[in-house]
Chain A
């Protein structure tokens, strides 16, 4: 199969997966036992009469039959990019608009953390793999395994205790100081201040994974025949590492990076909740607690679409870097 065929096949597969997700999404939220209108009426204390309830149901299209009525409406709206309106969290606001508002803080947080942790993780992995069983390898291995296995929320709480409660260096919550305390450059610094601890938590949490994957992949490659051949040819060690080993060992890490960028939009739910950081993770958490179905449905859909999209990109990059994949 040629390059074109490979790309077409991957795009088609991604499209099919997306379609399946949309259909699944529809049924998932319809089989849940709760009627949002009832939640609104009792839990919320709005003493609606039956006519008002019926009116509410009709306005959300909940009075139509599940199939084809609600299903066709849903598919049509989704394909047009209309993900409906929030019921409880932001009554009446478009889900896409809410998503846009919450996306940027999360992109900033997860983007910065992913960037730093990939760069650091890859370099540490290379160094540790290259000097296997050296002092750095021993220490970094232990360090990364501990970080990799630690729950993010717990790590976050520990960092808050150390940097916030004890040392008082960084704020422990929010995206910026309340009450518009700063303007200009100071406002930017304020945002960076607030970003520091959640970003550090996520960086440390991601670091271990990148480190471990990079290290083990480098170790695999270093055992290959072509490395021995290169060495036998008298190529300097540094060149063996750079030209022959690292390039090949990077392949699995590239996939991992692309995939984790896919999860950027899914948000770092636990970290955002621990740090009360306004973003998609916190939004998802609140929407779940409030049973804001249209909002949840929209968030799920966009999050899965991003993962599928990034997966596709990972496949394409992989195909580009490793011709064997295209041929297979």
Chain B
């Protein structure tokens, strides 16, 4: 009897102390909450938070590679000429105007550009930004041979600063190069000249001692987690409304989208199709899903190494030399179905190697389009002697030679490419062409591509807004360097040099279109699709996004962020009364955690007490 009573009273003690402990904790927590609220009411910087799955490893403009590195450096630094908001054509950035023959910016012989620089520009440390900095940067690229950038400065004889606001760029051939424009961020000579050589430059991570010129500047970097940019007080352009931009790196897209829905971030970049669809129609819940711009394409390339000097080792199938076979393959591919089934419709069927997002440069095949038709493809192959001579369903070379069996490589790193490979293999079977599809890592594909040991492969490109670079990859001397296929056409090579030497944009555009036509009709590769970048943001909290380029009639095709320029960053502002920009945090406050901890301590203490009493009784 006695013992039972003892137990009962012990239980009562536990219960009472636990309740008391919790109460104490809750009162503590409410006071702490009150404290939190009062502290957040003080002037907190207006913060915009962007989530993405890409990481940054450097903010050095000369070693940056990844998309988010370019995004951040685009906010920190400036170009001589930038990209227009509506169509990405060249617009003055550090330069004061677009130089032309009419305004004296280009000499009559086309060999000397005189570029006016805006006066009164400043670096973030208050030093003046002048033509000397531009000349220093371009000469650094050439002298130290930063080969990722040298192609932006072709035929250069000399680049000098005549005075603080005048840059003289002399070339050995007439050249449109300044207006391509060079995607080289202008660097401050007064701090960069301390680097003694290329190695010293490459070691610089671009933070924390960077001197910059753009609207924002990186002020904090938690590697592999997040990085923060704050407004540059010496910025000379449109002053942004937001004070801070924070980029947060996610390891997976699902959590990123959850955080957007929850309001922990304001913007989600590169949302996968399935998640993007789940966000559509949620405007009433404050989320806008934006079908962004389309600057990249995915292509299927044919081994075209037949004539050049390095092609002796090529193992490409002989049938690929025949334009009729390549055309038949192109005909068999239903590009609309690829876009629907693989991109969920968020893309457009591919045509030429210059994206339609840049309509000034893009050539539209229109009537010359190679139509999708299995029947016509079969007829084309029949007419040219590719018949199935042994009845196994696979055609043979004319005269009953080798079978049309192609080795087809897709990339394990691109699930879209793998899916496309399956669909294409099915269509090719319908025109009597066999494929052995292998999915490999990028590294293995690079090996096969260097060794010219393939027939077909699927890969993609994300070119610059200017077509120069992507056009260069089809010139003969790019075989073994950047060329997808080792395509070679002397007329094309000549046109490539011509467009570089063209001195008016219209003249250049005409040549650029002619080059696309050659690639499209010679079919060294089939451009399968142009995919849209999918973005989503909290439209209940933020407004003022400036889409680039101008979206189509459906409101699609414009980047809200990750643009060529800082149009949105300069104009984003909070929706009135939305409470946007304050550090919104979910979860328990410090006080609550103290309460929980106190509760646990009390309960554990009480249990120990009771057990001791219990065991004392036991022993008694």
Q: A44-B65, A238-B618, A276-B252 are in contact. Are A168 and B225 (CB under 8 A)?
A: no
Picked from B55, B222, B587, B592, the residue with its CB within 8 Å of the CB of A171 is B587
Minimal Cβ-Cβ distance residue in A for B587? A193
Minimal Cβ-Cβ distance residue in A for B230? A179
Q: B442 in the interface, Cβ–Cβ < 8 Å?
A: yes
Inter-chain contacts of B189 with A (CB < 8 A)? none
Minimal Cβ-Cβ distance residue in B for A41? B446
Picked from A42, A178, A274, the residue with its CB within 8 Å of the CB of B446 is A42
Inter-chain contacts of B57 with A (CB < 8 A)? 88-91
Q: Could you tell me the distance between the alpha carbons of A45 and B228 in the complex, rounded to whole angstroms?
A: 26
A34 B444 Cβ-Cβ under 8 A: yes
Inter-chain contacts of B482 with A (CB < 8 A)? 47
Q: B10 in the interface, Cβ–Cβ < 8 Å?
A: no
A190 B251 Cβ-Cβ under 8 A: no
A179 B228 Cβ-Cβ under 8 A: yes
Q: B133 in the interface, Cβ–Cβ < 8 Å?
A: no
Q: Could you tell me the distance between the alpha carbons of A192 and B252 in the complex, rounded to whole angstroms?
A: 22
Inter-chain contacts of B586 with A (CB < 8 A)? 164, 168-171, 193
Q: Could you tell me the distance between the alpha carbons of A194 and B255 in the complex, rounded to whole angstroms?
A: 13
Inter-chain contacts of B572 with A (CB < 8 A)? none
How far is the CB of A5 from the nearest CB of chain B, in Å? 40
Inter-chain contacts of B228 with A (CB < 8 A)? 178-180
Q: A278 in the interface, Cβ–Cβ < 8 Å?
A: yes
Q: B147 in the interface, Cβ–Cβ < 8 Å?
A: yes
Inter-chain contacts of B58 with A (CB < 8 A)? 91
Near A by CB (< 8 A), chain B positions 212-245 give 220, 222-226, 228, 244
A164 B446 Cβ-Cβ under 8 A: no
B225 A174 Cβ-Cβ under 8 A: yes
A33 B259 Cβ-Cβ under 8 A: no
A236 B618 Cβ-Cβ under 8 A: yes
Give per-residue flags for B256-271: 1 if the beta carbon is below 8 A from chain A beta carbons, else 0: 1011011010000000
How far is the CB of B332 from the nearest CB of chain A, in Å? 29
A160 B444 Cβ-Cβ under 8 A: no
A286 B246 Cβ-Cβ under 8 A: no
Stretch at the interface among A73-81, A131-139, A181-189, A213-221: A181-189
Q: B317 in the interface, Cβ–Cβ < 8 Å?
A: no
B444 A33 Cβ-Cβ under 8 A: yes
Picked from A181, A274, A286, A291, the residue with its CB within 8 Å of the CB of B55 is A286
Q: A39-B446, A179-B244 are in contact. Are A92 and B251 (CB under 8 A)?
A: no
B250 A276 Cβ-Cβ under 8 A: yes
Q: A210 in the interface, Cβ–Cβ < 8 Å?
A: no
Q: Could you tell me the distance between the alpha carbons of A35 and B151 in the complex, rounded to whole angstroms?
A: 26
Q: B502 in the interface, Cβ–Cβ < 8 Å?
A: no
Q: B443 in the interface, Cβ–Cβ < 8 Å?
A: yes
How far is the CB of B48 from the nearest CB of chain A, in Å? 10
Minimal Cβ-Cβ distance residue in B for A167? B586
Chain B residues touching A, majority SS? mixed
Near B by CB (< 8 A), chain A positions 30-62 give 33-35, 38-39, 42-49, 52
Q: Could you tell me the distance between the alpha carbons of A131 and B149 in the complex, rounded to whole angstroms?
A: 74
Near A by CB (< 8 A), chain B positions 420-476 give 441-444, 446-447, 450
Q: A46-B65, A165-B261, A278-B224 are in contact. Are A186 and B590 (CB under 8 A)?
A: yes
Chain A residues touching B, majority SS? loop
Q: B491 in the interface, Cβ–Cβ < 8 Å?
A: no
How far is the CB of B607 from the nearest CB of chain A, in Å? 11
Q: A318 in the interface, Cβ–Cβ < 8 Å?
A: no
Near B by CB (< 8 A), chain A positions 283-328 give 283, 285-286, 291
B443 A181 Cβ-Cβ under 8 A: no
When A and B form their complex, what is the total count of cross-chain residue pairs whose Cβ atoms lie within 8 Å? 153
Q: Could you tell me the distance between the alpha carbons of A39 and B442 in the complex, rounded to whole angstroms?
A: 8
Q: B203 in the interface, Cβ–Cβ < 8 Å?
A: yes
Minimal Cβ-Cβ distance residue in A for B450? A38
Q: Could you tell me the distance between the alpha carbons of A48 and B249 in the complex, rounded to whole angstroms?
A: 28
Inter-chain contacts of A282 with B (CB < 8 A)? 224, 251
Interface centre among A42, A45, A275 (most CB of B within 10 A): A42
Near B by CB (< 8 A), chain A positions 218-277 give 236, 238, 272-277
Q: B585 in the interface, Cβ–Cβ < 8 Å?
A: yes
Q: B47 in the interface, Cβ–Cβ < 8 Å?
A: yes
Q: Could you tell me the distance between the alpha carbons of A73 and B495 in the complex, rounded to whole angstroms?
A: 51
B590 A178 Cβ-Cβ under 8 A: no
Q: Could you tell me the distance between the alpha carbons of A66 and B69 in the complex, rounded to whole angstroms?
A: 35
Inter-chain contacts of A238 with B (CB < 8 A)? 618
Inter-chain contacts of A3 with B (CB < 8 A)? none
How far is the CB of B219 from the nearest CB of chain A, in Å? 10
Minimal Cβ-Cβ distance residue in B for A238? B618
B262 A33 Cβ-Cβ under 8 A: no
A272 B258 Cβ-Cβ under 8 A: no
Q: A157 in the interface, Cβ–Cβ < 8 Å?
A: yes
A90 B443 Cβ-Cβ under 8 A: no
B226 A178 Cβ-Cβ under 8 A: yes
Give per-residue flags for B584-604: 1 if the beta carbon is below 8 A from chain A beta carbons, else 0: 011111101110000000000
Q: Could you tell me the distance between the alpha carbons of A238 and B441 in the complex, rounded to whole angstroms?
A: 61
How far is the CB of B590 from the nearest CB of chain A, in Å? 4
Inter-chain contacts of B590 with A (CB < 8 A)? 185-186, 188-190
Picked from A168, A188, A194, the residue with its CB within 8 Å of the CB of B262 is A168
Q: Could you tell me the distance between the alpha carbons of A277 and B222 in the complex, rounded to whole angstroms?
A: 13
Q: B402 in the interface, Cβ–Cβ < 8 Å?
A: no
B593 A34 Cβ-Cβ under 8 A: no
Inter-chain contacts of B49 with A (CB < 8 A)? 178-179
Inter-chain contacts of A161 with B (CB < 8 A)? 258
Inter-chain contacts of B258 with A (CB < 8 A)? 160-161, 164-165, 172-173
Inter-chain contacts of A89 with B (CB < 8 A)? 55, 57, 224
A157 B254 Cβ-Cβ under 8 A: yes
Nearest first, the 8 A-B pairs at minimum CB distance are: A34-B443, A189-B590, A193-B587, A181-B583, A273-B251, A276-B251, A276-B250, A178-B226
Known interface pairs A45-B148, A276-B252, A278-B222; 12 further A-B residue pairs with C-beta atoms within 8 A, sorted by A's residue number:
A33-B444, A48-B147, A89-B55, A90-B57, A91-B57, A168-B586, A169-B586, A169-B587, A179-B244, A179-B246, A189-B593, A238-B618
Binding site for A on B (CB under 8 A): 36, 47, 49, 55, 57-58, 63, 65, 147-148, 151, 203, 220, 222-226, 228, 244, 246, 248-252, 254-256, 258-259, 261-262, 264, 441-444, 446-447, 450, 482, 583, 585-590, 592-594, 618
Q: What are 24 A-B contacts with C-beta separation under 8 Å?
A: A34-B444, A34-B446, A39-B443, A42-B442, A43-B446, A46-B63, A47-B147, A47-B148, A89-B224, A164-B586, A165-B262, A171-B259, A173-B248, A173-B264, A174-B226, A179-B228, A179-B246, A188-B590, A189-B590, A192-B593, A273-B252, A276-B249, A276-B252, A282-B224
